[in-house]
A and B are shown apart, each in its own frame.
Chain A
Amino acid sequence: GAVVSQHPSRVICKSGTSVKIECRSLDFQATTMFWYRQFPKQSLMLMATSNEGSKATYEQGVEKDKFLINHASLTLSTLTVTSAHPEDSSFYICSALKPRDSYYEQYFGPGTRLTVT
C-alpha cells in the first residue's frame, strides 16, 4: 500500500510559539491531502482540505489564521500551528488521496502528538 509520513511524530512547544508539522506522500503524488485532529478517546475531526497549488479549504469553526496549511508540492503539505496554546494540544493526523482504479483511496500518516506547555 501507499505510504504517508509525518514529521515530527511528537513535539512539545511552549505557549505562544509556532510549530510546523509535515505530511509527505512517499511513493505517490497527492494533489489533495487532509488534516485531522483527534482528541483523546475521540474520533477524527476534519480540519481542512489541502490542495496542491491553491488555498486550503477549512472546515467550519477552524481558524485559518491559526492553522496555516501550505501544499507546496504534490508530495508535501505542512500544517503550522501559530501562537500555540495548551488547548491546541492534540493528535494531528494527515492523509493523502491516491487514485485507485475508479476511485480515490485515502492513506493516513502515523500522526503527530502536539503538547503545548
Chain B
Amino acid sequence: AQTVTQSQPEMSVQEAETVTLSCTYDTSESDYYLFWYKQPPSRQMILVIRQEAYKQQNATENRFSVNFQKAAKSFSLKISDSQLGDAAMYFCGRGGSQGNLIFGKGTKLSVKP
C-alpha cells in the first residue's frame, strides 16, 4: 500500500524551542520524493521542505530540517527556534514520478508564547 502515516495528531511547542514532527511512509516506487507542507488557517498550502529519495544528505531550509531514514522509511521534520507563525497543520507526504502527491493525515502544531 502507498501510505503516509503521521502518528501525532497534535503537537505543542514553546516559542523559541525545538519540535520534531514524525512521519513514516510506504512505497514500492524507486523514484520518489518526500515533502512537508504547511497549511495555516488561511488553508493555503505552503511547501516547507522537500527531499529527493536518492539523496542521502538531509534537506534543510533555514529553521526547518528533516531526518530522512530511507531504510526505515521515516521522514521527520524538525523546527528549530519555533515562532508563533509556525502554528499550522503540517502534512507529510510522498510524491511520485507522475507528480501526484499522497498526504498523511496531518499534525496540528500549536506554538505557545
Determine whether the beta carbon of B99 is less than 8 Å from that of A108.
no
The answer, among B37, B101, B104, B106, for a CB contact under 8 Å with A34, is: B101
Say yes or no: A110-B44 contact (C-beta < 8 A), given A103-B33, A103-B52.
yes
Interface of A, secondary structure class, is: strand
Bound together, the chains give a CA A91 to CA B89 distance in angstroms of 15
Chain A: residues with Cβ within 8 Å of the partner, total of 20
The answer, among A46, A91, A95, A105, for a CB contact under 8 Å with B102, is: A46
Say yes or no: A43-B101 contact (C-beta < 8 A), given A91-B43, A110-B43, A110-B44.
no
Q: Does B91 contact A (CB under 8 A)?
A: yes
Bound together, the chains give a CA A43 to CA B3 distance in angstroms of 13
Q: Which residues of A sit under 8 angstroms from B43, Cβ to Cβ?
A: 38, 91, 93, 110-111
Can you pick out 15 interface pairs between chain A and chain B where the beta carbons lie within 8 Å of each other? Answer: A34-B101, A38-B43, A42-B105, A43-B105, A43-B106, A44-B45, A44-B91, A44-B103, A46-B102, A49-B98, A93-B43, A95-B45, A103-B33, A110-B44, A111-B43
